[in-house]
Structures are given as C-alpha cells and as structure tokens.
Amino acid sequence: MEALLKVGPLSFISTRKKFFEGLFLCLFPGDFVHLKGPSGSGKTTLLRQIVGLEPSEAKRYLEGKLYLPQEIASFRSRCLYLAPEAPVFEGTVEENLFFPLRFRHHRAKKIPQPLEILKKLGLRVSLKTPASLLSTGEKQRLALARALLFDPDVILADEPFSALDQENFEKAFMLLYSFSQSGKKAVLCVSHGNLPKSTRIFLLSHGKLEEPS
C-alpha cells in the first residue's frame, strides 16, 4: 500500500540537547497512530515540523506528491495540525467553525452544516454563542469539530482530549477515529492517556521513533 503521508528527515537539536535527529515518518490510509513518549521528548515539535511551523529540512509527500517549501500553505490545507491549546478566535461558534475558509487555499472547500457533529461531541451550544464564553473543554471540542468539518487528508492532533471528562473524551475519540477510517485519511494523535480502542503506536523516546512490537 502506498503511504498517504511521508515526511523526513526531522531533527530537533537545541543548544542544550539533541531531542531527535534524522527521523522519517509514514502514515498509511486508515491509520490512527497514537504517538507516545515522555514529557519533553519533542512530540509537539515533531508535529509542528511536519506542517512547517518549526524549521526543518524535511521533504513532505502526500499521496506521492512532493510539496515544496513554497507550497506549504497548500500542504497544510491537506495535513492539518490541531494545536493542544485549542485556539479560538473572536466571534461566534459559527464564525470559528468556518474560519479556515478565509484563507485562499481553503475557499473551495464545501463545509457541511456543523450542528450534527457538535451534537455528537456533546457540544450543545448555539452557533451564535460567543466562543469566548465556552469552557476549556468546550473550546477543545470546538477546535476538533472545526478540524473534522474541514475534512483534510491527515489530522495531527496534539493532546486533543486533555480537558475532557471521560464521557466526552470517548465521544471525541470515536469521532476522530471514525474520521481516520473514512476513506484515504489518517490521524497521528499525541495523548498521554490510554485510548479507548487499540491503535498503532509510535513511541518517541531517547531520540528514536519506533513502533513497539
């Protein structure tokens, strides 16, 4: 099977420490990969380097197509980074959900009405609610809903469940997992907790990225 996403080499070396060097990562259609590792091992930096938010010498391929550095915006329209702080913007819940359409590379996207996915996430708020009034957990689910509605090829989810109680964690996980199974899609998910379903695991530790046997 051809890889959906291939990225590398990825290196993170500071003045004080070599976190990792020369790593390559492949995701295949249908992958849901749980990225684990000790705190401080560089998991967030690894995800941010994949989408060019941190400097790297990596080459990026999606479905065999090489994306040059000047095409990074187009790459990000297909490979989406979901930040751990679940950023929301000024405006309503609805304006936040449709925020990506403001960017040129995303304007051709047709995003479905969001009420059904918000309901599945247990987020029962009006679309006209100011996003600033949401709790931390609600903001986290709003950011996840925005990512899923945007329908990229790959989601890099960095601690997307950290502020959720058990019930909402399971709902959010199952939606993200279902996304990974819906055609040529894949998810790479950083989470320190155990996930409700067995998945592939990548372990980032001592500068190595390995799949435990």
Check pLDDT > 70 for residue 104.
no
Amino acid identity at 169: F
Distance CA 157, CA 161 (A): 9
What are the respective helix, strand and coil percentages of the chain, to the nearest 5?
30, 25, 40
Alpha helical stretches, state H, 161-212: 166-180
Check pLDDT > 60 for residue 16.
yes
pLDDT at residue 206, as a whole number: 94
pLDDT at residue 2, as a whole number: 93
pLDDT at residue 208, as a whole number: 96
Distance CA 25, CA 27 (A): 7
Check pLDDT > 90 for residue 113.
no
* Structure tokens, 17: 């420490």
Check pLDDT > 90 for residue 108.
no
pLDDT tens column, 167-189: 999 999 999 999 999 989 999 99
Distance CA 129, CA 64 (A): 42
User: What whole-number percentage of the chain has pLDDT above 70?
Assistant: 94
Check pLDDT > 70 for residue 107.
no
Check pLDDT > 80 for residue 203.
yes
Angle between helices 166-180 and 136-150 (to 10 degrees): 10
Give the pLDDT band (50/70/90) at residue 192. Answer: confident
Report which of residues 57 and 106 the model is more confident about. Answer: 57
Judged on CB neighbours under 10 Å (0-12, 13-18, 19+), 197 is: exposed
CATH number at residue 70: 3.40.50.300
Check pLDDT > 90 for residue 49.
yes
Give the pLDDT band (50/70/90) at residue 106. Answer: low
Check pLDDT > 80 for residue 48.
yes
Q: What is the CA radius of gyration of the chain?
A: 17
Report the number of distinct structural domains present in the chain: 1
Check pLDDT > 80 for residue 162.
yes
Check pLDDT > 60 for residue 103.
no
CA dihedral (144, 147, 153, 154) positive or negative:
negative
For the segment 20-46, the average pLDDT, to the nearest whole number, is 97
> Where in the sequence is the domain holding 29, given as residue range(s)?
5-210
Antiparallel, parallel or unpaired: β 65-67 and 59-62: antiparallel
Alpha helical stretches, state H, 79-198: 93-97, 115-120, 136-150, 166-180
CB 51 within 8 A of CB 76: yes
pLDDT tens column, 119-159: 999 999 999 999 999 999 999 999 999 999 888 999 999 99
Amino acid identity at 45: T
pLDDT at residue 197, as a whole number: 93
* Structure tokens, 114: 């969001």
Check pLDDT > 80 for residue 81.
yes
- Closest to 209 measured CA to CA, from 14, 12, 62, 63: 12
